[in-house]
Amino acid sequence: MRKHLVALGVAATILVGCSAPSTQPAASTAAPETTAASAAPTPTPVPTQATDATAVATELKAKISSITGITTVTEELDSNKLLGRPNQYTSAAWIADAGATPGETGIDSGAVVEMFANEADATARSEYIQGILQKAGPAFGTEWHHQKGNVLLRVSGVLSPSVNDLYKAGFGS
């Protein structure tokens, strides 16, 4: 008999919960429902770091007057064929600088921003390039490298040291 009373009490509770609402609103701790038309837009978080290499290059362009253009590197443009490959850059951008050779691409245009999945991959890329340039000698060119976490900024040695200083300051390294 006791089991039947408990079952009857549970059934009554369920039925009361499904009945027509009373004239007094029930207190609720749940958030009120909103429709798509009345919902406030979700604020977009302010990024703490640029999301890709082109965004980093664009930030630099706003700070360095000698930057004349930015090219987002795509699979088709990537002469190194490293874009998106394991342990290589996930995005890249070429920066054309007035002090470099006009019309060139890559590092020859002035600077390159490369973004990697992690800091270790960016460091490995920097060390690899610097190692090759050191072994090959100055006839193969020089570069300054500035790194912040997973982002590598490569500045052509064709540019003057004072212009490199501008890149370094603008990059914040």
DSSP of 33-47, one letter per residue?
P--TTTPPPPPPPPP
SS3 140: helix
pLDDT in tens, 31-48: 334 334 444 444 433 334
Domain borders along the chain are 53-171
pLDDT in tens, 60-106: 999 999 999 999 999 999 999 999 999 999 999 999 999 999 889 99
CA 166 to centroid of chain Cα atoms: 22
